[in-house]
Chain A
């Protein structure tokens, strides 16, 4: 199995631009999680899906953030408009039981 695949690995953009992060979970996993990692705040859960349905989005910081999961093999996290404080590593993780998470390699986002 290829594991959780995220793209791009690195994204550099200017403030105000739209950013879209992509994730392909492990086949057969019913749960998908989006996390953000920063030095100051560590790993923060943004949103998670179960069977493609958003279950808890209370971690999404602002309306500028949105996430979708149109099917079982694809999810996106969008930031519009982006701001410098959004700079972080964004991880996608999938799970078959909601407990043991398998993380992707992350997207390093830099907003200038």
Chain B
């Protein structure tokens, strides 16, 4: 089945810095999504991408759907303390409703 490799596994950054994380897949996806999970809560959808090459922003977050359809990137600009959490990428094929989730990136923002 499909596998998603998400990196880095964890990041420690200073408040105000920019952050980048990415996901790569062994096969193509039609949709890429990025979720954030706060401690003790379920993941919350941040951004959804539907076309190869698409670049979408949501406030300080920007995500891109890779041209090959096998990867996606998430950038967070000017990080703040509330950005702390686990960020998951997820891919989906039109032929199936199941999302394949990456292993997550644990983000810590230091004051």
Contact = CB atoms under 8 A, between A and B. Distances in A.
A98 interface: yes
Per DSSP, are chain B's interface residues mostly helix, strand or loop, or mixed?
Answer: loop
Interface stretch (A43-51, A60-68, A73-81): A43-51
Interface of A: 4, 31, 42-43, 45, 48, 50, 55-56, 91, 93, 98-106
A60 B45 CA distance: 24
19 contacts: A4-B42, A42-B102, A42-B104, A50-B97, A91-B43, A98-B97, A99-B48, A99-B97, A99-B99, A100-B48, A101-B43, A101-B45, A103-B41, A103-B42, A103-B43, A103-B44, A105-B40, A105-B41, A106-B41
A100 B44 CA distance: 10
A26 to B, nearest CB: 12
Range, interface on chain B: 10 to 19
Contacts, number: 46
Q: Which 5 A-B pairs have the closest CB atoms?
A: A103-B42, A98-B97, A43-B101, A42-B103, A91-B42
Interface string B81-111: 0000000100010001111011110000000
Interface of B: 31, 33, 40-45, 48, 88, 92, 96-99, 101-104
Nearest to B96: A56
A45 B101 CA distance: 9
A15 B44 CA distance: 32
Nearest to A103: B42
Contacts of B96: 56
A61 B62 CA distance: 36
B45 A100 contact: yes
A56 B98 CA distance: 9
A43 B88 contact: yes
